[in-house]
């Protein structure tokens, strides 16, 4: 800081905050006069206001006002008074804050007045008074530009961008953000430059480019972290992007973390209210309306005390949405009136979310049988289907579909559902992350259900199959995006393996370092996941759903029936709590009712719990296994079990929530070759996967697996007898890089390694190798997937149900890359009894049998393993 110009201290606050604290304290310690001391107190107040204790900030700023007044400088006093006004408003003392800002605006002149108007505009933006904020900025921006006050002019343009975003004007906002960033480039204002990156992320989000938004927000967070300046509005921005990407639980955890930090720092009440609102949105989207209503209610009370009408009405919207989403909650006539009035208020406030209030009012009116009222509100909500972000437009098509259903117009209903899904599918093409591909489908679930419900009423099983397939396991249909050769990501994956390896050793030894290693692992996982979420997908183009109609659906179903030949395919479909089975074969599709979906889910869990116990018994009771399987079969297949023919091969396509079913336990499947596929389309694609040249076979033995040495040695001997040499990786050579290099493009890979399934983060599910875990993220880096893969460890075929009807796990990572078939288990495996099954399987494979046929002949009494994919 220059001794000649103490004002440099204020410029240093955001550029180098740590230095600013030291310089301000040094200035006060020097016994400087009231003018210079006022600047020091103001700097400390700003630092506390933005990054620490708000009450301490107000104390410093009031002291600064008194010192400025003593100095006799009106200009100095008005500047500090404006800073105090913002702090008072952020603490929830809205009237006092606005009064201070109004006084400062009245007394100030010249450049100081322009800076005061900018700050008052910021206060009005916080309060949701967007028109008044723009009025102040119309005066402030030209004055600051004319004065060549670069940093403040850039801040004013940034603020104008945020106001325009709140009014739905995305392109002008983006232009302001870019201009501000260009202006800040030559300056040393590192904090403002980080804010500019953050704002570009917000603009990317509002234009629908979520990977770019995540990457920019990650960059901004790294910059803020290096400056030591926590930014709570960055938490809110990231949560909004996570919500749009379908990562609702991540958003809720992120918002709650921000709230805890804000409370610890005694931070701004205005930001607390905003974080509560975003947490409420996240809870609602993650299926927790009770938490959503609680958070939104608290946020609304805070907004009301802060006189923030715009924000308060948006909190009220979530309160009403949460109430309507509560299971078994009856529709209230009073709720309809509240939703209608809310829609009117949001329209006056020019909120871009007014369509959501109309959609809510339309839903409530339908539930109450008020067809005319419903039509009026749904028509208003449907108006957004031709403009705005893809997710909002899809919401407009949902409103249009509800209108058509209420009016009894099936063609219009199916057109609206098709158009909404096509929009969402095109939107998903921008994602490179398989996780985002899968999660984003949740936004289309209701559109699919509306179409399925109609086709059930019409008795159209063939078309019901086509519509179910339209939104089932769709992430596997999108061409995989190979991650770039990112050295930093590769280093993080290697570091994660090392951390996991050290953590396992520390736990085994009871070392005190286990807790620190656990934190290191979580941090590395977070960084790996963030990097992959920001991967950009293929360029936008016409989605595969864009122009589809009945003819194309019929052609697809025809191709499926032709491919089945003499076999059968059973596609299980859950609609409104009932499980239906669409049995395909002999050129037809027939629908049968299996029973209640909740009973099927309960029976699957019961069977899995019993099998977990029986897996560790040397000779499990076959009678008990048969009874358990028969009970499960009645729940998941119903009458279809008796319609499958003698031993015809079968493809089972369950909904994602039933994928963990131990299908080998079912009596009708015990002696039948069968395969389980995420979708009929995935089965067709896997069936046509080209076999690689060369026929390379790779056998891998991980550490600590009982009987794995015998298993791998005997399998290698089988292939040697057939004149085929298998590459064996074991005894310290089975490292992740070596295994990935070996299985890339192989004909067959067999991995005998312990596995871990991570329901909380499925792509961190792993196989344990000599140097640590091999995760789904590692497998996604393969250039060519192995044609066939055998995983002989426990639960290796488990996948998590996510999105609308999607799966994530080790198997999906490979199926998406082109693996034709996988043999794996969905329940615990007895390592000793698994060995003969594996030997029998490979004996069949070396003789030319397919995976499903070879497994059927090798299975014996084993019920652990299934074939996934084409088999």
Q: What is the mean pLDDT of residues 204-232?
A: 83
**Model pLDDT for residues 462-476, shown as the tens digit of each residue:** 999 999 999 888 877
Q: How far apart are CA 264 and CA 54, in angstroms?
A: 11
Mind listing the pLDDT tens digit for each residue in 519-539?
777 877 777 777 777 777 654
Q: What are phi and psi of 756, to 5 degrees?
A: -130, 125
Determine the pLDDT at residue 431: 75
> pLDDT for 52-70, tens place per residue?
677 888 999 999 999 999 9
Round to whole Å and give the CA distance between 431 and 426: 10
346-355, 423-432, 571-580, 841-850: least confident range:
423-432
Nearest by Cα to 69 from 34, 105, 31: 34
- Residue 543 has a pLDDT of 43
Judge whether residue 686 has pLDDT over 80: yes
Q: How far apart are CA 339 and CA 366, in angstroms?
A: 13
Q: What is the pLDDT of residue 650?
A: 95
Residue 473: DSSP 8-state: S
Give pLDDT, residue 63: 93
CA distance 865 to 609: 16
Q: How confident is the model at residue 511 (pLDDT cuts 50, 70, 90)?
A: low
Which residue shows structure tokens 């579909």? 401
Give me the mean pLDDT over the 694-718 stretch.
Answer: 91
Residue 542 pLDDT level (bands cut at 50, 70, 90): very low
Q: Which long-range contacts (CB under 8 A, 24 or more apart) does 257-266 make?
A: 258/232, 261/230, 261/232, 262/232, 265/51, 265/52, 265/53, 265/230, 266/52, 266/53, 266/54, 266/55, 266/56
Pair 815, 868: CB distance under 8 Å: yes
* Residue 280 near residue 315, CB atoms below 8 Å: yes
Provide the pLDDT for residue 157.
94
Q: Which of 146-150, 548-552, 647-651, 725-729 has the lowest mean pLDDT?
A: 548-552
Does the structure show a pLDDT above 50 at 545? no
Cα(580)–Cα(659) distance, rounded to whole angstroms? 15
Chain centroid to Cα 626, Å, comes to 40
Q: How do 806-808 and 772-775 pair as beta strands?
A: unpaired
Q: What totals of helices (H) and strands (E) does the chain contain, helices first?
A: 37, 16
Instruction: Determine the average pLDDT of the residues in 7-22.
Output: 80
Which strand ranges, in their side-by-side order, compose the sheet holding 588-596?
A: 588-596, 578-585, 568-575, 650-653, 674-676, 865-869, 821-825, 788-791, 748-752, 697-701, 726-729
Indicate if the pLDDT at residue 509 is higher than 50.
Answer: yes
Q: 492-525 as b/e, with b when 16 or more CB fall inside 10 Å?
A: bbbbbbbbbbbbbebeeeeeeebeebeebbeebb
Q: What is the pLDDT of residue 480?
A: 64
What is the structure's pLDDT at 52? 63
Cβ neighbours of residue 410 closer than 8 Å, sequence gap 6 or more? 404, 454, 458
Residue 479 scores a pLDDT above 70: no
Residue among 131, 117, 113, 54 nearest 88 (CA): 54
Which is more confident, 799 or 317? 317
Mean pLDDT check: name the lowest of 81-90, 654-663, 826-835.
Answer: 826-835
pLDDT at 548: 52
**Res. 648: pLDDT tops 70:** yes
The residue that leads in pLDDT, 636 or 426, is 636
Question: pLDDT-based confidence at 326, cuts 50/70/90?
Answer: confident
Rounded to an integer, the average pLDDT of 574-582 is 96
Which residue, chain included where needed, has tokens 């656990």?
518
Three-state DSSP class for 787?
coil
Rounded to whole angstroms, the Cα distance separating 656 from 798 reads: 11
- Calculate mean pLDDT across residues 328-355: 88
Is pLDDT above 60 for 4? no
Interval 595-623 mean pLDDT: 87
Question: Which of 339-348, 447-456, 507-516 shows the lowest mean pLDDT across its residues?
Answer: 507-516
Sign of the alpha-carbon torsion through 145, 147, 150, 155? negative
* Range with top average pLDDT, 85-94, 97-106, 180-189: 97-106
Dump pLDDT digits (tens) for 369-421: 999 999 999 999 999 999 877 888 999 999 999 999 999 999 999 999 999 99
**pLDDT band for position 483 (50/70/90)?**
low
At 634 the pLDDT is 97
- Give this prediction's pTM: 0.81
Percentage above 90 pLDDT, the chain: 50
- DSSP string spanning 124-192? HHHTT-HHHHHHHHHHHHHHHHHTT-HHHHHHHHHHHHHHHHHTT-HHHHHHHHHHHHHHHTTS--HHH
Mean of all residue pLDDT scores within the chain: 88
Write the secondary structure of 51-107 as one string of H (helix), E (strand) and C (coil).
HCCHHHHHHHHHHHHHHHHHHCCHHHHHHHHHHHHHHHHHCCCHHHHHHHHHHHHHH
Q: Based on the number of CB atoms within 10 Å of its own CB, is 253 exposed (0-12), middle (13-18) or buried (19 or more)? A: middle
Distance from the Cα of residue 658 to its chain's centroid: 22
8 Å CB contact between 709 and 701: yes
Closest CA to 269 of 439, 146, 16, 96: 96
Distances (CA, A) of 616 to 161, 792, 830, 832: 63, 16, 6, 10
Report the alpha-carbon distance of residue 239 to residue 248 in Å, rounded. Answer: 8
Cβ count within 10 A of residue 151? 18
> What is the rounded CA–CA span in Å between residue 792 and residue 711?
10
Q: pLDDT confidence of 500, banded at 50, 70, 90?
A: confident
d(CA 660, CA 140): 62
Token readout for 235 is 């938490």
Residue range 201-208: mean pLDDT, rounded: 83
Where on the phi/psi map is residue 839: left (φ > 0), alpha (ψ -120 to 50), or beta?
Answer: alpha
**DSSP alpha helix (H) spans, 306-444:** 309-325, 333-348, 354-367, 371-382, 390-407, 410-428, 434-439
- Strand 755-756 versus strand 766-769 pairing type: antiparallel
Q: CB 644: neighbour CB atoms within 10 A?
A: 20
Q: Return the bridge partners of 788, or none.
A: 748, 821
In this predicted structure, the answer to whether residue 544 has a pLDDT above a threshold of 50 is no
3-class SS at 701?
Answer: strand
Phi, psi of 701 (to 5 degrees): -120, 115
What pLDDT score does 1 carry?
A: 47
Task: Tell me the C-alpha distance between 867 and 674, whole Å.
Answer: 7
Nearest in space to 286 (alpha carbons), one of 329, 325, 330: 325
More confident residue, 41 or 492: 41
Query: Poorest-confidence range of 54-58, 93-97, 304-308, 432-436?
Result: 432-436
- In sign, the C-alpha dihedral spanning 750, 755, 757, 758 is negative
Q: Higher-confidence residue: 45 or 622?
A: 45
| Bigger pLDDT: 816 vs 361 | 361
Mean pLDDT over 728-750 rounds to: 93
* Distance spanning both ends of the chain, measured CA to CA: 72
DSSP 31: T
Contacts of 424 (CB under 8 A, 6+ apart): 390, 391, 394, 440, 441, 443, 444
Q: Which two tokens stand for residue 201?
A: 């992320």
CA distance 429 to 540: 6
Q: What angle do CA 799, 805, 807 make, to 5 degrees?
A: 20
In which band, very low, low, confident or very high, does the pLDDT at 541 lie, cut at 50, 70 and 90? very low
């Amino acid at each position: 800081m220059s001794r000649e110009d103490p004002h440099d201290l204020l410029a240093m606050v955001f550029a180098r905050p740590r230095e600013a604290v030291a310089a301000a304290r040094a200035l006060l310690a020097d016994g400087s006069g009231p003018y210079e001391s006022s600047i020091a107190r103001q700097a400390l107040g700003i630092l506390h206001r933005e990054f620490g204790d708000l009450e301490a900030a107000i104390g410093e700023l009031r002291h600064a006002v008194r010192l400025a007044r003593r100095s006799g400088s009106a200009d100095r006093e008005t500047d500090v008074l404006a800073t105090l006004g913002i702090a008072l408003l952020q603490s929830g003392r809205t009237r006092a804050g606005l009064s201070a800002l109004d006084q400062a605006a009245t007394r100030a002149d010249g450049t100081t007045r322009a800076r005061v108007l900018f700050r008052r505009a910021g206060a009005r933006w916080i309060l949701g008074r967007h028109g008044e904020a723009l009025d102040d900025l119309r005066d402030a921006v030209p004055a600051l530009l004319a004065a060549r006050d670069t940093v403040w002019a850039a801040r004013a343009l940034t603020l104008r961008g945020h106001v325009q975003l709140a009014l739905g004007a995305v392109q002008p906002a983006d232009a302001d953000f870019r201009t501000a960033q260009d202006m800040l480039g030559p300056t040393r204002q590192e904090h403002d430059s980080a804010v500019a990156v953050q704002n570009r992320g917000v603009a990317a989000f509002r234009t629908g480019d979520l990977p770019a938004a995540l990457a920019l927000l990650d960059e901004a967070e790294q910059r803020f972290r290096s400056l030591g300046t926590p930014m709570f509005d960055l938490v809110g921005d990231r949560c909004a992007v996570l919500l749009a990407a379908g990562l609702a639980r991540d958003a809720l955890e992120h918002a709650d973390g921000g709230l805890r930090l804000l409370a610890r720092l005694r931070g701004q009440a205005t930001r607390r209210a905003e974080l509560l609102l975003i947490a409420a949105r996240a809870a609602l989207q993650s299926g927790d309306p009770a938490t959503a209503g609680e958070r939104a209610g608290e946020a609304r009370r805070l907004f009301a005390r802060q006189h923030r009408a715009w924000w308060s009405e948006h909190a009220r919207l979530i309160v009403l949405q949460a109430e309507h989403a509560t299971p078994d909650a009856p529709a209230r006539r009073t709720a309809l009136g509240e939703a209608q009035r809310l829609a009117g208020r949001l329209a006056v406030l020019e909120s871009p979310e007014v369509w959501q209030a109309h959609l809510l009012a339309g839903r409530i009116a339908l539930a109450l049988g008020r067809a005319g009222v419903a039509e009026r509100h749904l028509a208003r909500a449907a108006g957004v289907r031709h403009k705005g972000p893809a997710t909002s437009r899809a919401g407009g098509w949902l409103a249009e579909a509800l209108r058509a259903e209420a009016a009894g117009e099936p063609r219009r209903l199916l057109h609206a559902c098709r158009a909404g899904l096509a929009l969402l599918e095109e939107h998903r093409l921008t994602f490179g992350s398989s996780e985002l591909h899968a999660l984003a489908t949740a936004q289309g679930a209701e559109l699919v259900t509306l179409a399925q419900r109609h086709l059930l009423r019409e008795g159209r099983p063939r078309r019901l199959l086509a519509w179910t397939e339209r939104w089932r396991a769709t992430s596997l249909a999108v061409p995989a995006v190979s991650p770039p050769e990112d050295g930093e990501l590769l280093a993080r994956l290697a570091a994660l393996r090392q951390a996991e390896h050290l953590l396992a050793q520390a736990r085994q030894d009871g070392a005190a370092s286990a807790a620190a290693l656990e934190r290191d692992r979580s941090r590395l996982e977070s960084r790996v996941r963030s990097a992959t979420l920001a991967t950009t997908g293929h360029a936008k183009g016409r989605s595969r759903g864009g122009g589809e109609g009945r003819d194309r659906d019929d052609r697809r179903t025809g191709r499926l029936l032709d491919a089945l030949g003499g076999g059968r395919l059973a596609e299980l479909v859950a609609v409104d709590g009932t499980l239906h089975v669409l049995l395909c074969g002999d050129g037809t599709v027939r629908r049968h009712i299996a029973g209640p979906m909740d009973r099927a889910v309960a029976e699957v869990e019961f069977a899995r719990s019993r099998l977990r116990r029986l897996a560790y018994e040397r000779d499990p009771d076959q009678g008990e296994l048969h009874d358990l399987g028969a009970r499960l079969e009645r729940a998941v297949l119903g009458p279809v079990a008796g319609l499958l023919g003698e031993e015809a091969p079968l493809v089972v396509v369950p909904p994602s929530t039933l994928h963990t079913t131990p299908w080998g336990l079912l009596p009708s499947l015990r002696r039948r070759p069968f395969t389980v596929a995420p979708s009929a389309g995935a089965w067709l694609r896997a069936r046509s996967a080209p076999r690689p040249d060369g026929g390379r076979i790779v056998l891998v033995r991980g550490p600590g697996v009982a009987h794995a040495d015998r298993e791998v040695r005997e399998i290698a001997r089988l292939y040697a007898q057939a004149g085929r040499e298998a590459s064996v990786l074991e005894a310290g050579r089975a490292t992740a890089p070596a295994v990935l290099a070996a299985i890339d493009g192989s004909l067959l890979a067999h991995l005998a390694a312990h596995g871990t399934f991570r329901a909380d983060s499925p792509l961190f599910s792993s196989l344990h190798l000599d140097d640590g875990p091999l995760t789904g993220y590692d497998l996604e880096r393969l250039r060519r997937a192995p044609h066939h893969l055998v995983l002989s460890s426990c639960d290796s075929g488990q996948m998590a149900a996510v999105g609308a009807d999607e799966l994530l796990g080790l198997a999906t990572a490979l199926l998406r890359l082109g693996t034709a078939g996988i043999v794996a288990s969905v329940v615990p495996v007895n390592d000793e009894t698994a060995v003969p099954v594996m030997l029998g399987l490979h004996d069949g494979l070396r003789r030319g049998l397919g995976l499903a046929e070879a497994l059927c002949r090798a299975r014996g009494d084993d019920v652990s393993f299934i074939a996934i994919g084409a088999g």
